[in-house]
Structure 1
Amino acid sequence: KMLLEGSFHDLERTLDKEREVWQQRLGQKEQELLNIRSQMFTQLVDYENLLDVKLALDMEINAYRKMLEAEEQRLQLTPSPSQHSAIPRTPLPLSRQLRGKKRKHEGASGSHATQHGSVSVAGVDMDGKYIRLKNNSET
């Protein structure tokens, strides 16, 4: 009977040690889950911030594109090449990026209503929010 009770107490101690080991492992897993959730939240916040920046830049690009189109219509220029085709996904070689395409006036030459030097850039916001133009002519 003493032998059985001794074995019983040994088994209880072994069971308690195993329970402690499993509790420690469970605590480690819970900590890992908290760390992973924290990283996911941080990445989500970063993603949302980047998405906000992308949307702001898209709006700014669209505004500049509309200004360019209005100027092209006002000066009777052919539309810029980016309006004819989609923007390429692969970057162009540097030699092709530096070369611009000349645009031609549409309609009769000499009948456009531009005055060279009548508009100048008076100021540029360093954050890219605005450009201040100055009309140097009386018209």
Structure 2
Amino acid sequence: MAKQPVLDLNTLIDRPKINIDGKAFDLYSAEELSILDSQWFTVKGQEIEAAAGKDNQEEVEGLVSEVCRRCLVACPDEVFDRLSGSHKMAIAELFTRLLLQRKTRVAGAIAQMVLESRKKTPATPTGASSSPGSSASSAAIRTGGSAKRRPRS
């Protein structure tokens, strides 16, 4: 019986698209971002949260605009400049959700792999595998006496 792959990777980039005034524009795909790009988006998200916590509207708008610009593959300035702050926030939120979906898929693949490996090697409470001929522990069961420690004489 063939095993199902735990992770399905594709090297062909399929970019998500959004429409702005009826014209389609590409967003970068999570798969084509470098590790540094992914980290950049994480840091910018933290900066947006911090600025929003300080109720700094100008800083939040500037950061959201910067994130939005970096999400779009090739959006002309005249089109980008027509976007309102809420439009840019919607694009940034969508892009963030797409990134999180990818992370969720990878985490799910890892969890599935861990579950599969645990099914293959049942362990006793001590972590040692049980012997093939026995399903019980070989430790003796205490039948009496006190568990309280006694002082040394």
- TM-score band by shorter chain is 0.3 to 0.5
Q: Which has the higher contact order (CA 8 A, sep 6+)?
A: 2
Compare the two structures and name the one with the higher helix fraction.
1
Which is greater in Rg?
1
Query: What TM-score do you get using the length of structure 1 for normalisation?
Result: 0.33
TM-score (norm: length of structure 2): 0.30
